[in-house]
Amino acid sequence: MRDIKNFLRLVSVEISKLFKFKNIISLFLIILVSNALVLWIFNTDSTDNEEDIKIEEKMNSASTWKDKAKVQIEANKTLEDVVGKDKVKMNNDILKYRIDNDIAPVKGHSSYEYLNYTSNYINIAVLIFIIYLSSKLYGLEIENKMEDYIYSQKFSRFYSFNTKIIALLISVVAIIAVSSLITFIAGGLFYGFEGGFKKTVFYFSHNVYEHTYLVHSLINIALWLITAIFLSIITFALTEISKNSLISRIISILYFLLGFSLSNKLIDLKVDSKIISYTFLPYANISNFLNTPINDYFTFTKGIIIIFILGILMYIISSTHLNKRDI
């Protein structure tokens, strides 16, 4: 019982290190500024070209939502050179599913739709902040030259290492939860909170699904949470191994932002996509499986297994490296 109390005490100390006043203020500023920018984009009328105007006229002349969806399907086909064939196919598959299963789109916007729309923008900023904190947790120990009492001889380095991991995971869950809650409230203040139990259609890992907006939002949050946990462990382990927080941040951010794009680029260069699917490159951001066209060999199950194995390996390597150095 005493060991558990000591462990929990150390975890709370590590969490307090992460959530210093300036870090809390920085997090809220990132979330609020990101929401403000996205709201501005969300509500800004884009300048329509002649082709867009023609499509809009056809949409307005359509008598039912199904007719409008059919017009949109034909319009999407003209965008293959702009957004790519896979993106067009995904969007049209969703529209066809709506037509075939009589699932009309909800009129207007809601906090749920806003949360799902903004996640690809706001969560990118939040995850970069999480990467920064993940490297800083070890960096605080180095900068303070281990003067804190938890690094005294009373506790082994491996013991304190594990408290950092647990504290980091708890902190990541809290950050994603707070970010999602603030974004949901911001969307609700502008568009209302209703519509959570209305049906929507979305694309997930090569297939089209129908569910409520609430479930869609929860899936979205869960995928970003998995990504955040994975990246935080990778960043912390890289910092522990390299003893350089800047290097670990750069590697993690580049991997997060460019991993998926790089895997697609390699496929364009005729590298076997089946081989790439067994690497960690395509799965830097597991939320890409939601409403994003993705190579047939890249599967959600495979991605979860690969990032889990990579996370465990990074933990073992960093903890072993730690023990050899300090114990």
Arithmetic mean of pLDDT over the chain: 84
> For residue 324, how many other CB atoms are within 10 A of its CB?
8
Residue 14, classified by CB atoms within 10 Å of its CB into exposed (0-12), middle (13-18) or buried (19+), is: buried
| Same domain (yes/no): 96, 233 | no
User: Do residues 65 and 125 share a domain?
Assistant: no
Same domain, 174 and 260: yes
3-state secondary structure of 204: strand
Q: Are residues 194 and 56 in the same domain?
A: no
How far is 139 from 145, CA to CA, in rounded Å? 10
pLDDT of residue 309 exceeding 90: yes
Give 34-93 pLDDT, tens digit per residue.
Answer: 888 887 876 765 555 555 555 666 666 667 888 888 888 888 888 888 878 888 999 999
Considering its fold, how many domains does the chain have in total?
2
Secondary structure class of 280 (helix, strand, coil): coil
Residue 75 domain boundaries? 52-101
For residues 162 and 260, membership in a common domain is answered with yes
Please say if the pLDDT value at position 327 is more than 50.
no
In this structure, the answer to whether residues 94 and 243 fall within a common structural domain is no
What pLDDT does residue 326 have? Answer: 43
Token couple for 164: 């950092």
Per-residue model confidence (pLDDT) at position 180: 92
Determine the Cα–Cα distance for residues 217 and 200; give it in Å rounded to an integer: 11
Cα–Cα distance list, 196 to 44, 89, 176, 203 (Å): 25, 27, 20, 18
Highest average pLDDT, of 31-35, 157-161, 321-325, comes from 31-35
- Examine residue 318 and state whether it is found in any structural domain, yes or no: yes
Place of tokens 């729309």: 117
| H helix runs in the chain, sequence order | 2-18, 21-43, 50-61, 65-77, 80-83, 85-101, 111-143, 157-191, 213-242, 245-268, 273-276, 300-326
pLDDT band at 324 (very low <50, low <70, confident <90, very high): very low
Q: Could you report the per-residue pLDDT of 151-203, keeping only the tens digit for each?
A: 554 566 677 788 889 999 999 999 999 999 999 998 888 888 888 888 999 99
Q: With cut-offs at 50, 70 and 90, classify the pLDDT of residue 290.
A: very high
Residue 106 domain-assigned (yes or no)? no
- Verify that 62 and 149 share a domain, yes or no: no
Question: What 8-state DSSP symbol labels residue 105?
Answer: P
Count CB-CB contacts under 10 A for residue 280. Answer: 17
- C-alpha–C-alpha distance, residues 56 and 274, integer Å: 41
Q: Is residue 113 part of a domain?
A: no
For residue 325, what pLDDT is reported? 45
Q: Is 291 inside a domain boundary?
A: yes
* The pLDDT of residue 153: 47
pLDDT at 146 over 90: no
- Give the pLDDT score at 2: 65
Based on the fold, state whether residues 56 and 35 are members of the same structural domain: no
Residues 292 and 190 in one domain: yes
- Whether 161 maps to a domain, the answer reads yes
Task: Report pLDDT for 152.
Answer: 52
Kindly provide the b/e burial profile for residues 62-87, where b requires at least 16 CB atoms within 10 angstroms of the residue's own CB.
eeeeeebbbbbbebbeeeeeeeeeee
Give the DSSP per-residue string, 286-303.
GGGGBSS---TT--HHHH
Name the residue with higher pLDDT: 251 or 153. 251
Report if pTM > 0.75. yes
DSSP letter for each residue of 19-58: T-HHHHHHHHHHHHHHHHHHHHHHHPPPPP-HHHHHHHHH
Cβ(187)–Cβ(110) under 8 Å? Answer: yes
Of 11-25, 80-94, 252-266, the range with the lowest mean pLDDT is 11-25
